Amino acid sequence: MKNILVVDDELEVLEATKKILLKNQYAVMTASGGKQAVALAKANRPDLILLDIMMPDMDGRDVLVELKKDPVTMDIPIIFVTARDEQFQRDYGLGLGAHEYISKPCDAVFLLSQVAGILNKSR
């Protein structure tokens, strides 16, 4: 079973995403902030991270950079899931090393297809 870390400071989004993933046979860990996400990723090395960008304690871009610097976490695929839909934000996030960039609110079917696609590529 693939393990996914979902990171979002909005509890409703966190719980909705977790529910979708659990229903589709993924193991799920959650973090409500960037610092917690970095610690969980380093300790548990998930197969994929769904990462919000705008968070109060540590920006999602900073989380990505931190994880890419560490040999333990550098190969974990990351999908940004964010309300920021500007093209320059997308390009910047992908340039930092994110594997995909999904706008919120996202359709469950689309989210699952992106998750499956990334997980299948990283085998």
Say if 77 falls within a structural domain: yes
CA pair distance 113, 95, nearest whole angstrom:
22
Say if 19 falls within a structural domain: yes
Say if 122 falls within a structural domain: no
Per-residue three-class SS string for the chain: CCEEEEECCCHHHHHHHHHHHHHCCCEEEEECCHHHHHHHHHHHCCCEEEECCCCCCCCHHHHHHHHHHCCCCCCCCEEEEECCCCHHHHHHHHHHCCCEEEECCCCHHHHHHHHHHHHHHCC
8 backbone dihedrals φ, ψ, rounded to 5°: -160, 140
Say if 75 falls within a structural domain: yes
Say if 123 falls within a structural domain: no
For residue 96, what pLDDT is reported?
A: 75
Say if 10 falls within a structural domain: yes
CA pair distance 82, 8, nearest whole angstrom:
9
pLDDT, one tens digit for every residue, the chain (123 residues): 999 999 999 999 999 999 999 999 999 999 999 999 999 999 999 999 999 988 888 989 999 999 999 999 999 999 998 876 666 666 666 677 788 888 888 889 999 999 999 999 865
For residue 85, what pLDDT is reported?
A: 66
* Residue 44, domain extent: 3-117
For residue 56, what pLDDT is reported?
A: 86
For residue 20, what pLDDT is reported?
A: 95
CATH value at residue 74: 3.40.50.2300
For residue 103, what pLDDT is reported?
A: 84
For residue 86, what pLDDT is reported?
A: 65
Total domains in the chain come to: 1
User: What is the value of pTM for the model shown?
Assistant: 0.92
Say if 22 falls within a structural domain: yes
Say if 54 falls within a structural domain: yes
